[in-house]
Amino acid sequence: MRRRHLIQAALASSALPLSAIAQDSNDIVVAHIGAFTVLPALDPVWLHEGFAAAFDEVNARGGINGRQVRMLKFDDAYSFDGFKARLAEAMASKPVALLSPLGSATLKAVLDNHVLDQNDVVVINAVPGATVLREPGHPRLFHIRAGDDQQIAKIVSHARALNIQSMGVLYQNIPIGSSGFASAQAAAKGTSLEVVGFESDIDDADLAKAAQQVAKRNPHAALVVGNPKFMGQGIAALRAAGISQQIFALSYLPADVLHKLAGKGARGVGIAQTFPNPLGVTQPLHRAFRAAMQKTHPDLKGAYTTFNMEGYITARVFIEAARRAKSITPAGIAEALRRAGEIDLGGFRVNFSKGNEGSQWVDIGVVTADGKLLY
């Protein structure tokens, strides 16, 4: 795990792109712009580790139609202004794809300000899956992970199966939060489940106040929606306010981060999952992922995260599209994704033939007392 902290420290001192292989004019260039240095969760670092494993794997086999994949890395410091500046730097190298940009506020601003119309690049697997980023979305913005609508619908369905009759939704005052509350209301419509919302800033005092309001309402269960830090701190605040009931969160919250923020309060929290278990062994995808990660990141010693798996799958989807593309350009990649039909990566399938959302797969994992996730 020390390696991940070294990566984060190195990125803090430089916004320059990093590449694992020498530059060549024939390279297929992709870019990863993320908040590598300002988040308590290392989601972008974990995603990048997954990308690297998949691209090392394909490059070692001769690349894509004889061309090597070169990946650039930029830190946007979790801001729209930072993203715009780093994107301008990235575009100088003419990447065909941007992989897994992160942040609902940043990505909403990207769409609102028509940034994709001004830059010839295709985006694969934006994070998060908030509805406001998908409806109407953008023709060159492709979503692999199941969206927040699907995650919350799964949580609501699970809650109803447990005979839960009321749910308090503690949501952050950013697009992912307000969109998530609306998704919960929509999922519960026409059922016996009562959904009540409580909006909050990420400030500790605001969270504590909102958590007290949830506790006063005393719902059968609670759902926390926001960025990873908000969800972790929100769950801690709910436990501190006396909420012992079942709590749910979305897939962007790593179990170990929740454990660090909420301590014993993390136990039993249900977290939606949109990708297969990174520690699984039953599917061909599991075995391919583990082999690639072991080769590229032997120092991780099998301590893989769900974001490692997400990064690996995202890169594999790009590789499949590039192999099938008539021309390896943003337009060619987009066309290949739409024409490919079902892409089976060894047990996890995506299909963009009917739109820009590739997967509907959702499971729920439960956090253990030591911060592990059980599927």
* Domain assignment of residue 117, yes or no: yes
What's the chain's average pLDDT? 93
Q: Single out the residue in 223, 249, 273 at which a domain terminates.
A: 273
Res 302 pLDDT > 60: yes
Burial of 66 (0-12, 13-18, 19+ CB in 10 A): exposed
Say if residue 307 is in the same domain as residue 239: no
CATH number at residue 131: 3.40.50.2300
Q: What is the pLDDT of residue 5?
A: 42
Alpha-carbon gap, residue 95 to 33, rounded angstroms: 12
Say if residue 318 is in the same domain as residue 292: yes
The number of distinct structural domains making up the chain is 2
Say if residue 23 is in the same domain as residue 98: yes
Alpha-carbon gap, residue 99 to 52, rounded angstroms: 12
Domain extent for 191? 148-273
Say if residue 102 is in the same domain as residue 170: no
Res 157 pLDDT > 80: yes
Radius of gyration of the CA atoms of the chain, in A: 20
Angle (deg, nearest 10), helices 43-60 and 284-296: 90
Say if residue 118 is in the same domain as residue 201: no
In three-state form (DSSP H/G/I as H, E/B as E, the rest C), the secondary structure along the chain is: CHHHHHHHHHHHCCCCCCCCCCCCCCCEEEEEEECCCCCCCCHHHHHHHHHHHHHHHHHHCCCECCECEEEEEEECCCCHHHHHHHHHHHHCCCCCEEECCECHHHHHHHHHCCCCCCCCCEEECCECCCHHHCCCCCCCEEECCCCHHHHHHHHHHHHHHCCCCEEEEEEECCHHHHHHHHHHHHHHCCCCCEEEEEEECCCHHHHHHHHHHHHHHCCCEEEEECCHHHHHHHHHHHHHCCCCCEEEECCCCCHHHHHHHHHHHHCCCEEEECCCCCCCCCCHHHHHHHHHHHHHCHHHCCCCCHHHHHHHHHHHHHHHHHHHCCCCCHHHHHHHHHHCCEEECCCCEEECCCCCECCCCCEEEEECCCCCEEC
Return all residues near 26 (Cβ < 8 A) that are at least 6 apart: 67, 68
User: Which pLDDT band holds residue 375 (cuts at 50, 70, 90)?
Assistant: confident
Q: What is the pLDDT of residue 12?
A: 39
Say if residue 21 is in the same domain as residue 69: yes
Mean pLDDT of 215-221: 98
Say if residue 76 is in the same domain as residue 129: yes
* Domain assignment of residue 359, yes or no: no
Say if residue 93 is in the same domain as residue 137: yes
Say if residue 142 is in the same domain as residue 152: no
* Domain assignment of residue 107, yes or no: yes
Say if residue 327 is in the same domain as residue 228: no
From 333, 335, 353, 356, select the one nearest 97 (Cα to Cα): 333
Say if residue 6 is in the same domain as residue 141: yes
User: Which pLDDT band holds residue 248 (cuts at 50, 70, 90)?
Assistant: very high
User: Which pLDDT band holds residue 331 (cuts at 50, 70, 90)?
Assistant: very high
* Domain assignment of residue 374, yes or no: no
Q: Single out the residue in 250, 273, 296 at which a domain terminates.
A: 273
* Domain assignment of residue 130, yes or no: yes
Say if residue 171 is in the same domain as residue 157: yes
The tens digit of pLDDT for each residue in 23-55 reads 677 999 999 999 998 876 799 999 999 999 999
* Domain assignment of residue 357, yes or no: no
Alpha-carbon gap, residue 1 to 175, rounded angstroms: 32
- Amino acid identity at 347: G
Q: What is the pLDDT of residue 23?
A: 62
* Domain assignment of residue 45, yes or no: yes
Beta-strand relationship, 122-124 and 349-351 = unpaired
pTM, rounded to two decimals: 0.89
* Domain assignment of residue 111, yes or no: yes
The tens digit of pLDDT for each residue in 165-188 reads 999 999 999 999 999 999 999 999
